[in-house]
Structure 1
Amino acid sequence: MTRQRNGDRRGASFLVMLLRRGTPALATAATGLTDEIGDPTPVRAFQRISRMAGPVDERQRDGLLLRAARYVVLVPLVYRLLMVPATFASYAVKHGSAGLASVAIVAVCSVGLSAFGLFWMMRRAPFRSDLAGRLLLIDLVATLAFELFIGATVSPAVFHDAVGVADKHLLGSVALLTLAVGIPSGIGLAALSLPVRLLSDLLNHGTFDFAQAASLYPTLFGVLFTAVGALILLGLGIRLALAYGIRNGRLAERARQHRMLHDTVLQTLEAIALGGPGDSDQRLVEVQRLARAQAIELRQTIETAAAQRAEEGARPLGEKLAALAAEMARDGLRAQLVIAELDNDTLSEVRQIAIRDAVREAMRNTMKHAETDKVVVRVEERNGGIAVITRDHGTGFSPHDRPAGFGISESITARLSEVGGTSLVESSPGSGTRVTLWVPL
């Protein structure tokens, strides 16, 4: 029996749980996501919605999502802070001092509760669901007490206008419960408001006024409908955004891994395949050196990526490029660095690494295709950013005859685009190649 119940929990519909429990259900929004949800391919709206509303695992709860989603209850609190004083001011203008003290007490208590709710939600202390439940219960009791207090203390002549102040608080409370606890709680408060209003009528003028009590229900239903719509849009929107972000993250990670393989293993294999001068023993020694260096580089990339990023973070762009030039020199490419005086703190680490890796790819292309062992790398400030120009005087190529391959399109262009930068590759046969990289500061 326990196993079956756990299986049902894992397959709970996100939409049903959202409507039953309110914003706390958003803590499970990150579970049960499939590639179909974030697939940008156009599909029928109902099909997309049914995927977003699909099953989730309610045993896995994301604390950050729960903390972020709770802020939606600020909307009904702000509504009460604005509408209750406005309705009170309208009452004071219309009726003067008649029943003003009682209505003022209700207005002040309502504003105080709403202001405290805002303060409690915005504070930095950890969120406690048990305390939140107590505060909601206090607010519920106060909401019903306001209606009865007005009926017991004001004259029948001003009762309907006076109770309007309490009604504004009631409307906000219905929305608050719907968002914070779920539709059943909101509907329950709306249903409970009818007998409470009838009791308030009885306290005020000794009779039940069903027509007047029921006149608030169209507005209550409107509030319920709006709160439910906001809850659905928020929940499904979060699910869609999470699925889309996870999908794009996977694609970005896949592209990063493809670039790493292209810039490391594939480059080594191509260097081996191109051959070179010397006898077979010399070539064997060269192949072993390349393989050993490549194995060390891959191991460092896989096992110590985090430590490597931390170490790189302490080095400015100039030192990164100088280390890259030394690395290329070991493979036979002499790089001349011309670096303008730059502020080391003006360029973020992620952009520095993107430039360094793109320059590495440009240099390797020079080694493979340009038939030259010299390249000039110039770094300068340009157009509100940093430009790095890699220039060789090798054989060059015609962009029309040789379309951009993976190295240019992914290891250079895509890498710069991911950090908000641009790249430009200029070349012509016999005139060498110029690669201009630019990132904003």
Structure 2
Amino acid sequence: MNPDGPARRRGGFLASLLRRGAPALATATTELPDEVADPAPMRALRRMQHMAAGAADGAFQDTLLLRAARYVALVPLAYRLVAVPGAFAAFAARGGGGTRALVVVGAVAALSFALNAGGAWWLLRRAPFRDRAAGRLLALDVAFTLAANLAVAAAVPAEVFAAATEVTSKHLLGAVALLTLAVGLPAGAALALASIPLGAGMAWASGGGFDLTAGFAVLGTVLGVLLTATGALVLLGLGTRLALAYGIRTGRLAERAVQHRRLHDTVLQALEAMALPDSGDADTLRRTARAEATALRRYLESDSGAEGGPLAEKLAALAAEMARDGLRAQLVAAELDDATLSEVRQLAVRDAVREALRNTLKHSGTDTAVVRVEERDGGIATIIRDHGTGFSPGERKAGFGISESITARLAEVGGTATVESTPGSGTRVTLWVPR
């Protein structure tokens, strides 16, 4: 006996998807091959093979994906909400085959509409989703599908049989699609095959005798719906898996860039400042190291490194920080509403200003700079100006600090950064972010 519980059946993601239906999307993130999101050119079938493989049935399930997967059932429900009333309207327009037939078919159409509307409401409600209740609703839907077809076949005269059964066949087609998407291909195929004896039973109920050929008459349409639902399920599953793989890869790259930027802007900058010829005595170096260690620990222990207070306060604290390192940064800030910029944009501006001031301290040959904040072009502009040695932008390639810690950081929040410099005339860095 397995002490960890019953053995789990393992198989590729595609096999699990076909066997279990849309709920298998909840395992789409498990054992996701790196090759799925490989940016290198790859044959389409090869990439699809990677997307179809690698997931284990019964493995860890993502609850958000599981909730989203259930909404796939809305598609066949919406189809029946439109198709069944439409078929009944066409039947009634032809005369309805008498009052009795019109009442029976109308009642079946009304019950179908109520069942589908109730199912859609049940899926969209805020209450917790319960698999046992979902199974009961699906069983009720299948029972109603079979009973409705037999009841209509028994109630309508032969001359309107085909038009009347169009109403119930729409519900049957939706049921096949619903089972395929919600439970899996085996369940949908079972109901599709059940349409053969169902058709024969309908022929018998209408007085024509039990005839299997009547069952095969609708099999082609039912199989077409089964194939369409299966194809939609496969495309949905593989597309979701590809999107997740791309998102995971992009997230990893973004997280790596953030960590590299953080190390560059804190630890590396502090080490380089300590290495400067006039970096100070041992006590100053220890205070600098302690301050950087405290800031880094605070960042690691927080969720996002966020700090309260408006932008002006953040920049004032930054000016005090730079003063300890030997750079006098004069802050000239316009009065801004606290809600003018979101916290994430304030932090992006603050950190980009820090990098610009660090560059001033290391490369400009001056110990003063001016930081000015003003409203401009529907956003907030922050200008960092020094009158140091400057440089020629065309002759110096932008390093990590300018390209990542300044330009890329502002781009991530919808802003821009420009660096203007001339040898002997200092440097101007202009940061702009939208409100």
TM-score, normalised by the number of residues in structure 1: 0.93
Report the 3-state secondary structure (helix = DSSP H, G, I; strand = E; otherwise coil) of the residue aligned with 2:303: helix
Counterpart residue identity of residue 411, structure 1? S
Aligned residues with identical type, % of pairs: 60
- More displaced stretch, 347-356 vs 177-186: 347-356
Q: 1:94-243 counterparts in 2 under 5 A?
A: 94-96=94-96, 98=98, 99-243=101-245
Distance 1:342 1:153, change over 3 A: same
Which position in structure 2 is the counterpart of 1:86? Answer: 86
CA shift for structure 1 position 263: 1.0
Report the 3-state secondary structure (helix = DSSP H, G, I; strand = E; otherwise coil) of the residue aligned with 1:438: strand
Distance 1:307 1:197, change over 3 A: closer
Aligned CA RMSD, in angstroms, stands at: 1.9
CA shift for structure 1 position 129: 0.5
Which position in structure 1 is the counterpart of 2:15? Answer: 16
Distance in 2, matches of 1:273 and 1:308, equals 27
Counterpart residue identity of residue 321, structure 1? L
Distance in 1, matches of 2:371 and 2:265, equals 19
Deviation digits for residues 125-169 of structure 1 (CA, Å, limit 9, x no counterpart) = 011001000000000000001110011111111111101100000
Which position in structure 1 is the counterpart of 2:286? Answer: 288
Contact kept, 8 Å, 1:275 with 1:283, in 2: the verdict is: no
Counterpart residue identity of residue 290, structure 1? T
CA shift for structure 1 position 3: 8.1
Counterpart residue identity of residue 141, structure 1? A
Deviation digits for residues 160-214 of structure 1 (CA, Å, limit 9, x no counterpart) = 1101100000001100000000001101001111111211111112324544432
2:302 counterpart of 1:305: yes
Counterpart residue identity of residue 360, structure 2? T
CA shift for structure 1 position 63: 1.1
- More displaced stretch, 261-270 vs 95-104: 95-104
Contact kept, 8 Å, 1:377 with 1:388, in 2: the verdict is: yes
CA shift for structure 1 position 22: 0.2
- More displaced stretch, 72-81 vs 337-346: 337-346
2:30 counterpart of 1:36: no
Q: What is the total number of aligned residue pairs between the two structures?
A: 432
Which position in structure 1 is the counterpart of 2:50? Answer: 51
Distance 1:95 1:307, change over 3 A: closer
Contact kept, 8 Å, 1:19 with 1:228, in 2: the verdict is: yes
Which position in structure 1 is the counterpart of 2:275? Answer: 273
Distance in 2, matches of 1:336 and 1:6, equals 69
Distance in 1, matches of 2:234 and 2:328, equals 61
Which position in structure 2 is the counterpart of 1:355? Answer: 349
Which position in structure 1 is the counterpart of 2:388? Answer: 394
- More displaced stretch, 57-66 vs 118-127: 57-66
Distance 1:421 1:111, change over 3 A: same
Distance in 2, matches of 1:270 and 1:414, equals 22
Structure 2 alignment gaps of length 5 or more: none
Structure 1 alignment gaps of length 5 or more: none
Distance in 2, matches of 1:39 and 1:182, equals 30
Distance in 2, matches of 1:75 and 1:307, equals 39
TM-score, normalised by the number of residues in structure 2: 0.95
Distance in 1, matches of 2:328 and 2:219, equals 82
1:247 pairs, out of 242, 246, 249, with 249
Distance in 2, matches of 1:192 and 1:384, equals 65
Distance in 1, matches of 2:151 and 2:340, equals 63
CA shift for structure 1 position 115: 0.2
CA shift for structure 1 position 256: 1.1
Counterpart residue identity of residue 439, structure 1? V
Which position in structure 2 is the counterpart of 1:71? Answer: 71
Distance in 1, matches of 2:210 and 2:303, equals 72
- More displaced stretch, 341-350 vs 388-397: 341-350
